[in-house]
Amino acid sequence: MQKILINGGNLLQGSVPVSGSKNASLPIMAASILTNENLELENVPDLVDVNTMSAVLSSLGVNVTKKDVNTNRLTLRYSDSEITIAEYDLVRKMRASILVLGPLLARKRHASVSLPGGCAIGARPVDLHINALSKLGAAFELDGGYIKCSAPNGLKGNKINFSKVSVGATENIIMAASLARGESEIRNIAVEPEVMDLIDCLNKMGAKIELGENRNVHIQGVDQLQGAVHSIIPDRIEAITYIIGGTIIGNDLKITNLNLEHISNVLELLNELSINYSMGENSIIVNQSEISDGIDINTMEYPGFPTDVQAQMMVLLSLGKSKSQITENIFENRFMHVPELNRMGANIETKGKTAVINPCKGFISAQVMATDLRASVSLILAGLVAKGETTLNRIYHLDRGYEKIEKKLQACGADIRRIN
């Protein structure tokens, strides 16, 4: 089993490039099922989740090829296979695998997709996918841990109003409605940059999708979609992670290849904390900053503060001089990193869905364990400023969402390495 060792204290200097967005790549890859022509994607990150989605799509008849192992360009071509079952052994590895459900229904009129690991129809978000697709004419049943769905007469446009904002459900229904007969109006959609990137790609493929106001979208179904060439947007969560790294231990750390508009909500918060940074055209330079004032943060759907940055922000606020708090409004049980940060010297108390971050004297090295993707990177950030050697276990979470993170940090002066 691999581990990451970090000897903290080295200033982060130089330049670190932001990779393509994981959360934009996965639904756009699933969109390859909607056409028989080549979908060529650029700036696709080399991540475990991308490889998992490639395996899911390959099992369904999509030929996924990488033209050059040294580039981040994928070509996907659907063979119009009769296979419409996304098997448990693949889907269990990644919840985003459910994004093949909408495209399969639209193209093949039936599909069987294993429930994502640990999920059950009911209060879980997967019911939002099913309810929305049902409005387009699909029938569903749960059998042996699989969502089995069919639309023998094809999908038909309709008005859909999400009861709760959901990125995945929004992406699934938009892809399905693109090939449904007639018009669809979908209300209360997610408007994250990753959703907008999917819409941009689908329109390049010949879809007719128009964004309205107040989280509404209008879709005129078309008979077929064509191939396209599309470049994946930069990963805003990775960008913010490195910005926080520069804030806690940076010396003119330059983060490049990012979209500043996509992180404007977080930059506004950094302004409140008087963080020392300067912006370029597609870059930002960050310096180690002292945080005097506390702050209250609520995670919210975009354009609110992203839940995927909550763990990293705890590291930054722990080093401040005043008490702060973060309230998690998106996911349950997303404070599993708190005990590990406290092992490293943090003073964080959790009360329900709120975490109170008290100032600490600094982080100290420890043996810690990653519990999820964003938790794992928060422990790396803490390790970068901790005294002594920090050992991070269960790092497979990292490889799901951060491309070559230890190499990027090494290039900026960090003493960090991966061992077996």
Judgement on whether residues 190 and 299 belong to the same structural domain of the protein: no
Q: How far apart are CA 91 and CA 52, in angstroms?
A: 8
Measured distance CA(45)–CA(71) in Å, rounded: 9
Residues 398 and 301 in one domain: yes
Are residues 348 and 405 located together in one domain of the fold?
A: yes
pLDDT over 80 (residue 120): no
242 and 296 together in one domain: yes
Number of domains comprising the chain: 2
Mean pLDDT of 132-147: 93
| Among 188, 212, 231, residue at a domain's last position | 231
How many residues does the structure list for the chain?
A: 420
SS3 assignment, position 402: coil
- 127 contacts 158 by C-beta, under 8 angstroms: no
Q: Which two tokens stand for residue 47?
A: 């991540």
244 and 181 fall within a common domain:
no
Mean of per-residue pLDDT scores for the chain: 94
Summarize pLDDT for 188-220 with one digit per residue, the tens. Answer: 999 999 999 999 999 999 999 999 999 999 999
Which amino acid, one-letter code, is at 25?
S
Compute the distance between CA of residue 354 and CA of residue 249 in angstroms, rounded to an integer. Answer: 27
Note whether 158 and 131 are same-domain residues.
Answer: yes
Is there a single domain that holds both residue 240 and residue 227? no
C-alpha to C-alpha distance for 156 and 105, rounded to whole angstroms: 11
Say how far apart CA 314 and CA 23 lie, in whole Å.
22
Q: Dihedral through CA 63, CA 67, CA 71, CA 73, nearest 10?
A: -40
pLDDT at residue 46 is higher than 90: yes
Residue listed under structure tokens 């967005």: 21
In sequence order, which residues have a C-beta less than 8 Å from that of residue 262 and are 6 or more positions away?
193, 233, 234, 236, 239
Domain, as residue range, for 321: 3-19+234-419
pLDDT at 117: 55
Q: How many CA atoms lie within 13 A of 368 on its CB side?
A: 34
Q: Do 207 and 295 fall within a single domain? A: no
Share of the chain above pLDDT 70, in %: 97
Instruction: Select from 231, 261, 283 the last residue of a domain.
Output: 231
Are 211 and 93 within one domain?
A: yes
Q: Check residues 119 and 164 and name the one with the higher pLDDT.
A: 164
When pLDDT is cut at 50, 70 and 90, the band that residue 23 belongs to is: very high
Report helix, strand or coil for 413: coil
Structure tokens that stand for 23 in this block: 């959360």
Examine the domain organization and report whether 157 and 267 are in the same domain: no
Please state the rounded mean pLDDT for residues 221-240: 98
Q: What is the pTM of this model?
A: 0.96
Residues 6+ apart with CB under 8 A from 163: 128, 188
pLDDT higher than 50, residue 357:
yes
**Is residue 156 over pLDDT 70?**
yes
Contact assessment for residue 345 and residue 363, using Cβ atoms and an 8 Å cutoff? yes
Active site residues: 119
Report the chain's C-alpha Rg in angstroms: 22
Is residue 326 located within the same domain as residue 365? yes
pLDDT band at residue 372 under the 50/70/90 scheme: confident
The SS3 of residue 312 is helix
What is the DSSP-derived secondary structure letter of residue 20? Answer: B
Instruction: Say how many C-beta atoms besides its own lie within 10 A of residue 171's C-beta.
Output: 30
Both structure tokens of 3? 């581990």
In the 8-state DSSP scheme, what is residue 32? G
Residue 139 — pLDDT band, cuts 50, 70, 90? very high
What pLDDT sits at residue 206? Answer: 98
The 10s digit of each residue's pLDDT in 172-185 is 999 999 999 999 99
**Could you tell me which residues come within 8 angstroms of residue 130 by beta carbon, excluding any fewer than 6 positions away?**
121, 140, 147, 149
DSSP labels for 242-305? HHHHHHHHEEEEEEES--GGGGHHHHHHHHHTT--EEE-SSEEEE------S--EEEB-STTSB
Percentage of the chain with pLDDT > 90? Answer: 86
Q: What is the mean pLDDT of residues 8-26?
A: 98
Q: Could you give the 3-state DSSP secondary structure of residue 152?
A: coil
In tens, the pLDDT along 238-284 reads 999 999 999 999 999 999 999 999 999 999 999 999 999 999 999 99
In this structure, the answer to whether residues 289 and 405 fall within a common structural domain is yes
Q: How confident is the model at residue 125 (pLDDT cuts 50, 70, 90)?
A: low
Nearest to 129 by CA among 156, 97, 90, 86: 97
Tell me which of 235 and 125 has the higher pLDDT: 235
**Is-contact 338 355, C-beta < 8 A?**
yes
In sequence order, the 6+-apart residues with CB closer than 8 A to the CB of 106 are 34, 155, 175, 176, 178, 179, 180
CATH of the domain at 106: 3.65.10.10
**Using 50, 70 and 90 to split pLDDT, how confident is the model at 121?**
very low
Closest CA to 2 of 387, 370, 312: 370
Which of 178, 213, 231 is the last residue in one of the domains?
A: 231
